[in-house]
């Protein structure tokens, strides 16, 4: 049987060095039938020039403005659709891959037509024996997505064979194109952060399964990963947005009450120990309740913290 076509979507924003390393890694994979599509999210550095010089044969799409993760990935989905691929792979540009990772992912979907998407085992690049993502569990009453086994040594992973999962991380997802067309693409209200959890939930609500294949291994450059004002803003606002879109009835009220009680306590503490975090978290809450979604005020954090 011929291998089905897979279009690999790489989203870049001022990260040409990482993207080039990822492409060089992808060029060594054992899977034969794939195309790489670079979506440059209106970078302000020399990323576009680097790609045009180094990879003149690759598809390069340059957006007219920064569309965020969700808008950039959606642009990639639409462009990839022109090739009518059976599957579309979304993978972070700051990753490196094992040569057989895509073969394992594709086989999982080929063998289970009820599965909409599959992800793999993601290890930290700076320590390739440490798990960053090893299956996902959703705690609905908290609207909380948990990376199972995160921080554990790889030999202690709790799942060793292909299994169903609650959600997949946007760092690595192979989508069945047909399922995306049915469930819909990324929700651009999120702009970035937690959108992958909402899309996972929507795919399952559309009647599909999500799979986790630990034999498909990649490495994520997470050294120095820490909280930032940008991540805080979208995580706070989008946690409420995720709850509103994913949950219903009493579960929605319970999750909102739980999160608001926790974040308000944190805001009080931050007002003393980290005033900038306090101001940004309050701004995120205001924007959610004012329905300022999409990019919101994520580009105005300096004004928020100094105001």
Within 10 Å of residue 184's Cβ, how many Cβ atoms?
12
Q: How far apart are CA 97 and CA 259, in angstroms?
A: 36
**Residues 117 and 6 sit within 8 Å (Cβ to Cβ):** no
pLDDT tens track for 222-278: 986 677 999 999 999 999 999 999 999 999 999 999 999 999 999 999 999 999 999
pLDDT tens track for 86-99: 999 999 999 999 99
Backbone angles phi, psi at 187, to 5 degrees: -85, 110
**Residues 277 and 226 sit within 8 Å (Cβ to Cβ):** no
Distances (CA, A) of 307 to 10, 236, 283, 302, 304: 37, 19, 11, 8, 5
What is the per-residue pLDDT for 243? 97
Taking each helix axis as running N to C, give the angle between helix 249-273 and helix 229-246, from 0 to 180 degrees, rounded to the nearest 10.
160
Q: How far is CA 233 from the centre of its chain?
A: 17
Token pair recorded at residue 236: 């706070």
Q: How far apart are CA 78 and CA 85, in angstroms?
A: 11
Distances (CA, A) of 59 to 30, 43, 54, 261: 21, 16, 12, 47
User: What number is the average pLDDT over the span 200-215?
Assistant: 97
Bridge partners, residue 153, by sequence: 130
Question: Is it the case that residue 71 has pLDDT exceeding 90?
Answer: yes
What is the per-residue pLDDT for 166? 97
pTM over 0.85, yes/no: yes
What is the per-residue pLDDT for 227? 79
Cα 191–89–14 angle (5° rounding)?
A: 50
Domains of the chain (ranges; CATH) run 6-220 (3.90.550.60), 229-306 (no CATH)
DSSP 3-state of 201: helix
């Amino acid at each position: 049987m011929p291998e089905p076509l897979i279009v690999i979507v790489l989203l870049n924003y001022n990260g040409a060095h990482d993207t080039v390393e990822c492409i060089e890694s992808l060029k060594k994979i054992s899977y034969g039938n794939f195309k790489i599509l670079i979506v440059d999210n209106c970078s302000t550095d020399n990323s576009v020039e680097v790609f045009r010089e180094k990879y003149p044969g690759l598809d390069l799409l340059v957006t007219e403005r920064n569309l965020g993760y969700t808008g950039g990935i959606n642009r990639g989905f639409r462009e990839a659709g022109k090739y009518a691929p059976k599957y579309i792979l979304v993978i972070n540009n700051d990753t490196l891959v094992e040569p057989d990772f895509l073969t394992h992912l594709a086989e999982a979907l080929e063998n289970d037509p009820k599965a909409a998407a599959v992800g793999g085992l993601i290890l930290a690049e700076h320590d390739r024996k440490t798990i960053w993502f090893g299956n996902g569990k959703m705690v609905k009453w908290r609207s909380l997505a948990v990376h199972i086994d995160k921080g554990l040594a790889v030999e202690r992973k709790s799942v060793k064979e292909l299994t169903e999962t609650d959600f997949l991380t946007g760092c690595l997802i192979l989508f069945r194109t047909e399922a995306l067309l049915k469930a819909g693409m990324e929700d651009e209200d999120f702009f970035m952060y937690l959108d992958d959890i909402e899309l996972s939930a929507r795919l399952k609500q559309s009647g599909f399964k999500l799979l986790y294949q630990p034999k498909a291994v990649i490495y994520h450059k997470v050294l120095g990963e820490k909280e930032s004002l940008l991540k805080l803003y979208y995580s706070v606002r989008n946690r409420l947005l995720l709850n509103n879109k994913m949950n219903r009835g009493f579960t929605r009220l319970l999750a909102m009450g739980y999160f608001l009680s926790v974040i308000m306590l944190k805001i009080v503490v931050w007002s003393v120990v980290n005033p900038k975090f306090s101001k940004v978290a309050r701004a995120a809450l205001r924007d959610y309740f004012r329905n300022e979604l999409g990019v919101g005020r994520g580009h105005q954090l300096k004004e928020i913290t100094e105001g």
